[in-house]
Chain A
Amino acid sequence: MEKKFLKGNEAVAEAAILAGCRFFAGYPITPQNEIPEYMARRMPQVGGVFLQGESETASVCMVYGAAAMGKLAMTSSSGPGISLKAEGISTLAGAQLPAVIVNVMRGGPGLGTIQAAQSDYLHATKAMGHGGFRVLVLAPSTVQEAIDLTYKAFGLAVKYQNPAVVLMDGWIGSMMEPVTLPEAKEPVKNAYTGWGTRYYNPSGTDVDVVTSCLLEPDRQELLNIHFGEMYETWARDEVMAEEYMLGDAEYVIVAYGTAARAARTAIGSLREKGVKAGMLRPISLYPFPYDALKRLDKSRVRCILDTEMTLPVQMKDDIRLGVTDAIPVHSCGRSGGVVLTNEDIEDALLRIIEEEGK
């Protein structure tokens, strides 16, 4: 089958529709504008709803309302808008509703820059909002993977009745690559399984009480314990990572998304120079692939290079948890929207090797 040549943002939007998403609400912000623009054209064609909210706060709440009605729903934004959505995402999580949130990252903090960056790793993986909940975080590194992971994010969101985040950067959003699209799923009505009804209207048989407010501490604690157990399941069942040339690697680059692509090219030329470099590429950032790091041969791997499009790097603590300080972890990256090239990574690793030799 001939491949389509699609732009990342539009590909993500189409993938959502193919996954059965029939509700989208968003608010303009660069570099994700093609997602709402595409949805504005496409949703009416498939009998879905597109809304431009008056703010990110409002749009994510529109998604919450749609999800409460059993719709597969999505919103998208970039850094500053994701901050505003935090409230709604926390509400979705607390009310046990599925939804997909796409963050097309730019350079932060604050308004920062509109160019591509990976500024929101910590926000996405540690605290997408108040209250100590977690979301599944998937990080594509190609347009094809952006499609596949968006499609998968809906499945995971429904499976766990929890929001899932597709975390990509402005480059993946704006680049075009050859892709194949997955098959279209029939939209299904998601049955509400959250806990509101059992507490507020226990005898109600034909009604749902969709709420993130359990009011009573002991009930809320039970739910939080349930969430904790669910996150453990994710860590067991939903971890995704790619191991690239790790078999004999003495230097392991850990990178995700676009940074991992630059690393792949760097590894090619490092190997030509006789440097045994390889890469671990986390695809799910939450749950994080700690086990793949634990499995690294500590007698062979001389160091790890955490490579990110953000400074200071944000993934390093997770990497260190994985290798428990048995392997030194260095870092390199560019930030604020400055382009990270393969040469930047190659230079950084060669410098580290030179330092080692001294």
Chain B
Amino acid sequence: MDALYERPKSLTNRATAYCPGCLHGVATRLIAELIDELDARADTVAVLPVGCGTLGMFHFNTDIVVSPHGRTPAVATGVKRSAPEKLVFSYQGDGDLAAIGLAEIMHAANRGENFTVIFINNGTYGMTGGQMAPTTLVGQKSTTTPEGRNPAETGYPMMMCEILSQLRAPRYIARFSLDCPANVIQAKKGLRKSFELQRAGKGFTFVELLSNCPTNWGLSPLECLEWMRENTMKAFPLGVFRDRED
């Protein structure tokens, strides 16, 4: 009998380290499946951030390098340039990528580094307990915006796909959502495309995945998905922002 469901070889055999209902789990699994499908487990280096993504240390059954907070694209640059034959991806939260690591992401993109950035946008600093992130929506409450994000004081959500699309070098930039199976399938297609482009040496690829944080949003996993559809996905339009043929 064929197995309908198996643990990807690129995942270790352990229970999830993320909170119940957290879409970090879905993203991690998607990536692992894809690595298996590309038969790349032994050739993959996951460059993990500081944030809940660090917990990927427990999960990816691949080479792993954990970066200081936000320097993830710089670490990935060092990794990829030292081992161009590897499939390299950075896995970063919105605090890591769009706040403390903004310089690193802009410059890795601008250099057209040949690795893939997977950007988990959950609108909050999950790991540290729900503070405002650069992607927190206008009016959205966080522990550091108790009255909701007020643009007069803290500006507007940063649209990283749109910002990076101003640069010339990137090869592929796209945003997907993890809110429902249909969108997850789309996200996986985008990830696959990115990995394939990287393998063909085509340069910088960037996949943003709209995600959630049940723990700090204070919603049940299901409510989170509903909330994402009504809020996050309206503020952050899905789509491909860059698909430049050479």
Contacts and interface: CB of A to CB of B under 8 A. Distances in A.
Interface residues on chain B, size class: 20 to 34
Interface stretch (A3-11, A48-56, A135-143): A48-56
Taking chain A's interface residues, is the majority helix, strand, or loop, or is none over half, making it mixed?
Answer: mixed
29 contacts: A23-B78, A23-B81, A25-B78, A53-B74, A53-B107, A57-B104, A61-B67, A61-B74, A62-B74, A62-B77, A62-B78, A63-B78, A64-B68, A64-B75, A65-B74, A65-B80, A65-B81, A68-B45, A69-B79, A69-B82, A69-B86, A70-B82, A196-B64, A203-B12, A207-B42, A207-B61, A210-B65, A211-B48, A211-B57
Nearest to A65: B78
A62 B78 CA distance: 4
Given A23-B78, A61-B68, A88-B71, 18 more contacts: A54-B103, A57-B71, A59-B74, A62-B74, A64-B68, A64-B75, A65-B47, A65-B67, A67-B78, A68-B45, A68-B75, A68-B78, A91-B67, A201-B12, A203-B13, A206-B42, A207-B62, A209-B57
A217 interface: no
Contact of B82 (A57, A66, A91, A201): A66
Contact of B75 (A61, A206, A209): A61
A58 B107 contact: yes
Contacts of A212: 66
Interface of B: 12-13, 42, 45, 47-48, 50, 54, 57-58, 61-68, 71, 74-83, 86, 103-104, 106-107
A206 B77 CA distance: 22
The 8 closest A-B pairs by CB, nearest first: A65-B78, A62-B78, A61-B71, A54-B107, A211-B66, A61-B74, A58-B74, A69-B82
A149 interface: no
A190 to B, nearest CB: 11
B57 A64 contact: no
B12 A64 contact: no
B104 A66 contact: no
Nearest to B10: A207
Contact of A204 (B61, B75, B80, B106): B61
A200 B57 contact: yes
A208 B12 contact: no
Interface of A: 23, 25, 49, 51, 53-55, 57-59, 61-71, 73, 87-88, 91, 95, 196, 200-201, 203-204, 206-213
A96 B80 CA distance: 20
A200 B48 CA distance: 13
Given A57-B74, A62-B78, A204-B12, A69 B64 contact: no
Contacts of B80: 65
Nearest to A22: B82
Contacts of A71: 82
B79 A68 contact: yes
B67 A64 contact: yes
B114 to A, nearest CB: 13
A62 B57 contact: no
Contact of A49 (B50, B64, B81): B81
Given A23-B81, A23-B82, A65 B75 contact: yes
Contact of B64 (A57, A67, A211): A211
Given A54-B103, A71-B82, A88-B71, A65 B66 contact: no
Contacts of B83: 69
A140 B61 CA distance: 44
A65 B78 CA distance: 4
B103 A58 contact: yes
A91 B124 CA distance: 25
B103 A55 contact: yes
Given A53-B74, A69-B78, A201-B12, A91 B103 contact: no
Nearest to B72: A61
A65 B48 CA distance: 11
A88 B70 CA distance: 11
Given A49-B82, A71-B82, A203-B12, A210 B74 contact: no
A306 B66 CA distance: 42
A58 B79 CA distance: 13
B84 to A, nearest CB: 10
B64 A209 contact: yes
Contacts of A204: 12, 61
A204 to B, nearest CB: 6
Contacts of B106: 54
B239 to A, nearest CB: 28
User: Most A CB atoms within 10 A — which of B61, B82, B106?
Assistant: B82
A208 B64 contact: yes
Contacts of B57: 196, 200, 209, 211, 213
B39 to A, nearest CB: 14
Nearest to A199: B57
Nearest to B44: A207
Contacts of B64: 196, 200-201, 207-211
A211 B48 CA distance: 9
